[in-house]
Amino acid sequence: MFEQTTTKRETMTTNSTLFQRTKVRVTDTVQATVPVDRVIQSVALTLKAKRLAGMMKALRFEERPIPDPADVPLEEIDVSNPFMNRQGQWYPYFARLREEAPVHYQPKSPFGPFWSVTRYADIQAVDSNAEVFSAEPYIVLGPPPFNAEMFIAMDPPKHDVQRRAVQGVVAPKNLKEMESLIRERVQDVLDNLPTDRPFDWVERVSKEITGRMLATLLDFPFEERHKLTYWSDTISGSADATGGTTHQDELFPAAVDLARNFTALWHDKAARRAAGEPDGFDLITLMQTSEDTKDLIKKPFEFLGNLTLLIVGGNDTTRNSMSGGVLALNRFPDEFEKLKADPKLIPNMVSEIIRWQTPLAYMRRVAKKDVHFGGQFIRKGDVVLMWYASGNRDERKFENADDFIIDRKNARNHMSFGFGVHRCMGNRLAEMQLRILWEELLERFDRIDVIGEPGYVQSNFVKGYSDMQVQLTPKPAREQTPVRVEATSGA
Amino acid sequence: MGTITFVEHDGTPHQVELEDGSSLMELATNHGVPGIDGDCGGEASCGTCHVIVDDAWITTTGTRTDLESQMVEMSPECGPNSRLACQLRASPALDGLTVHLPEFQM
Ligand code: HEM
Ligand code: FES
């Protein structure tokens, strides 16, 4: 039987009543529902059996130096190599593809054959055409570790129904409610950073703030927030799916743990609401109070799919934008001066950071019928990758596209959030999170210096950083800043 | 050629000169009307130029196309007169048109 769950919760470091809780014991009355972890375990066993029988080959990647694009025949170019970003080769390769083969075919990558679409306008056309280009069955290049039901990989009309059921949690109206809590949590992180020595920005800032944000969104026990980060990293780091470093055997325990915890989260919330706790603004409350989703727990794959999508979708993306922004301002120091002179540029800079970084390099589609596209003949069933990372550097759309320009006029036109029905559901949350981070950073620090080179994640999908040493220089004490003096004398 | 009025969610009106051939999204963004983003540049693929046409005008503008529905119907503020401003072309026939902005764009 599915075990009984006890979740310990403690009062948080915030004075919001929503998060002031004492221990809640869950006396779970809904245990008759499907034991989700069992389902996942059985999938794992099937896959393992298949692999032992030689029916599936698990991928492993070894890093070798990647030659310059000019030295590789066009038809051999394989931009799915998970070391492209680390070796700084993606942009030169994409530049060549955009010029010489904007719709390019790679017949024999480790992940199988695929098309690459690399120009801005072409990517937008594919992304906006769900009738010809299907997001099913998955949106990464290789098969994901397990088939959770996620609407990011569903076509309309099923997609629309599922998205509508949960999007309220990241809708701007709800974000307004969460903003002050998110800000407090950012302030707390920044106030505890060392200023007398370099530290790892990825670990201490990007991962930490993102973990806190996701915990806020799900009302997940705050002190266990690192689990969210761990699950998400493990899932999106799958070698077979994205060329990452996690392998099937590590994936399944994580998936089972996730399933068990999220199921408990649901029942725990139900128990607390039944005991009279006022409703919060989190996803589970939202689901339990909406007619369409109040029994979602009875459809465990859909329930888990939605939650997993939120943590995986919101994790690497936001994290790497937080690190990427710091790196960009170090690579283009004049822009930092511009920013300090005019903090009102923050919102536009946030869009420019997301363009420059492009945290997710591509989304995958499958042609539903034969189609002529960009001078090529794409056959029904062919895999098509829309390389946002390339489209965002397309000079046809962005002048001096490789430069980071915080007051770039059309920064908002970046394609990092995709276009069409799957356009990122968390875009406003991501923007808000980054805006708050930069507002709070400018309050506190004069310099944010990257020391040495950052480490880059091994992946053909997540464009991000594994570590980045940063040295902070605090602003002179606040009382001494002219802004404050003027404000006081004017009052 | 005349003017049209964008009314912000809080009731603030913005009157803008019609320019033949421009879309209403372009008119709004070029004149700094707050509340219209136009992130996809007018391709009906971002849903950030959502406007709600005044009842009196809906027969003149027409109701939304299927292409627009795909995007705009995902907004919780979508109503029967919801349109994407990038899919509405300025023309003399629209002189005097009033459209309302939703509280939030997607
Ligand atoms: C800078 C940060 C982010 C970036 C660059 C990003 C990028 C993307 C991209 C490229 C897509 C697919 C678009 C397409 O197929 O056309 C997407 C979809 C999605 N994202 Fe994000 N994302 C970010 C932050 C977030 C956050 C914070 C959340 C939630 C907490 C989130 C949740 C989702 C969901 C649920 C979808 C699926 C939408 C659908 O299929 O309708 N994302 N995101
Ligand atoms: S500008 Fe993107 S939908 Fe109108």
- Give domain status of residue A164, yes or no: yes
- Give domain status of residue B62, yes or no: yes
Task: Judge contact between B47 and B74, C-beta under 8 A.
Answer: yes
Distance from CA of A172 to the nearest CA of B (A): 6
Atom number of ligand 1 nearest to Cα A166: 35
pLDDT attached to residue A50: 61
What whole-number distance in Å separates Cα of residue A470 and Cα of residue A8? Answer: 35
- Give domain status of residue B66, yes or no: yes
Q: Which of B45, B74, B76 sits opposite A419 (nearest CB)?
A: B45
Spatial CA neighbour of A157 closest among B83, B74, B79, B68: B74
- Give domain status of residue A306, yes or no: yes
- Give domain status of residue A360, yes or no: yes
What whole-number distance in Å separates Cα of residue B96 and Cα of residue B98? Answer: 7
In sequence order, the β-bridge partners of residue B5 are B15, B98
Task: Judge contact between A394 and A120, C-beta under 8 A.
Answer: yes
User: Quick one: tokens of A382?
Assistant: 């062919």
**pLDDT one digit per residue (tens) for chain A, 491 residues:** 333 333 333 333 333 322 233 223 333 333 335 566 666 666 666 666 666 665 566 788 999 999 999 999 999 999 999 999 999 999 999 999 999 999 999 999 999 999 999 999 999 999 999 999 999 999 999 998 776 789 999 999 999 988 988 888 888 888 988 899 999 999 999 999 999 999 999 999 999 999 999 999 999 999 999 999 999 999 989 999 999 998 877 888 888 899 999 999 999 999 999 999 999 889 999 999 988 889 999 988 888 888 999 999 999 999 999 999 999 999 999 999 999 999 999 999 999 999 999 999 999 999 999 999 999 999 999 999 999 999 999 999 999 999 999 999 999 999 999 999 999 999 999 999 999 999 999 999 999 999 999 999 999 999 999 999 999 999 987 644 443 333 333 32
Relative to beta strand A112-117, strand A383-387 is parallel
Q: Which residues contact A481 (CB under 8 A, 6 or more apart)?
A: A475
How close is the Cα of A144 to the center of ligand 1, in Å? 17
Instruction: State which of A353, A424, A438, A461 you would mutate to test the pocket of ligand 1, scoring each by most atoms of that ligand within 8 A of its C-beta.
Output: A424
**pTM above threshold 0.95:** no
**What is the count of structural domains for chain B?**
1
- Give domain status of residue A193, yes or no: yes
Q: Which amino acid is at A412?
A: R
Q: Which residues contact A421 (CB under 8 A, 6 or more apart)?
A: A130, A156, A159, A160, B70, B71, B74
- Give domain status of residue A377, yes or no: yes
pLDDT attached to residue A411: 98
- Give domain status of residue B11, yes or no: yes
Alpha-helical runs (H) found in A53-101: 90-100
- Give domain status of residue A94, yes or no: yes
Contact flag B44-A128 (C-beta cutoff 8 Å):
yes
| Region of residue B38 (phi > 0: left; psi between -120 and 50: alpha; otherwise: beta) | left
Partners of residue B49 in chain A, C-beta under 8 Å: none
Q: Which domain holds residue B81?
A: 3-100
- Give domain status of residue A486, yes or no: no
CATH number where A349 lies: 1.10.630.10
Q: Which of B37, B43, B76 sits opposite A124 (nearest CB)?
A: B43
Q: What ligand has the least distance to the C-alpha of A124?
A: 1
Spatial CA neighbour of A423 closest among B59, B106, B27: B106
CATH number where B8 lies: 3.10.20.30
pLDDT attached to residue A34: 54
- Give domain status of residue A423, yes or no: yes
Interface of B with A (CB under 8 A): 37-41, 43-47, 70-71, 73-74, 76, 103-104, 106
Spatial CA neighbour of A483 closest among A439, A441, A440, A443: A443
**What is the count of structural domains for chain A?**
1
Say what the ipTM of the complex is. Answer: 0.95
Burial of A419 (0-12, 13-18, 19+ CB in 10 A): buried
Contact flag B70-A130 (C-beta cutoff 8 Å):
yes
Q: What ligand has the least distance to the C-alpha of A361?
A: 1
User: Quick one: tokens of A486?
Assistant: 């003027």
What whole-number distance in Å separates Cα of residue A102 and Cα of residue A88? Answer: 20
Atom number of ligand 2 nearest to Cα B44: 3
Cα A179 → chain centroid: 19
Q: Which domain holds residue A142?
A: 22-479
Q: Which residues contact A161 (CB under 8 A, 6 or more apart)?
A: A292
Total count of residues recorded for chain A? 491
Q: Which of A124, A172, A427 sits opposite B40 (nearest CB)?
A: A124
- Give domain status of residue B78, yes or no: yes
Using omega within 30 degrees of 0 as the cis cutoff, is the peptide bond preceding B92 cis? Answer: no
How close is the Cα of A426 to the center of ligand 1, in Å? 5
* Ligand 1 pocket residues where CB is under 6 Å: A 127, 151-152, 163, 170, 217, 309-310, 313-314, 317-318, 321, 354, 359-360, 363, 416-420, 422-426, 429-430
What whole-number distance in Å separates Cα of residue A422 and Cα of residue A162? Answer: 12
Strand, helix or coil for residue A204: helix
